[in-house]
Amino acid sequence: MTHKASRTQLPRLEDLPEILTPMQIAEYLQLSRNTVYALLRTGQIRAVGGNGPNRFCRSWRVSKQALRDYLDGGQTA
């Protein structure tokens, strides 16, 4: 009997919503939640909310464009 490892199909960036939560980013990047929060706190991924300088609520939110910028290796103003 042959056993094939089941792989979960990861979403494409184009299929993600325009505004993302840290959990969605963690799942997409296959990182831990703590790692994603560290990237948000240090500004490596631009975001609003959380405990950062653009805090307006307790929850972090990231635009899909900010995630693209991070994946491209830099941030744009």
In a domain, 67, yes or no: yes
**Total of domains in the chain:** 1
| H/E stretch holding 25 | helix 22-29
In a domain, 52, yes or no: yes
Residue 55 structural domain: 16-71
26 Cβ contact partners less than 8 Å away, ≥ 6 residues apart: 32, 33, 35, 36
Confidence class of residue 65 from pLDDT cuts 50, 70 and 90? Answer: very high
Q: What is the pLDDT of residues 29-61, one digit of tens each?
A: 999 999 999 999 899 999 987 665 555 556 899
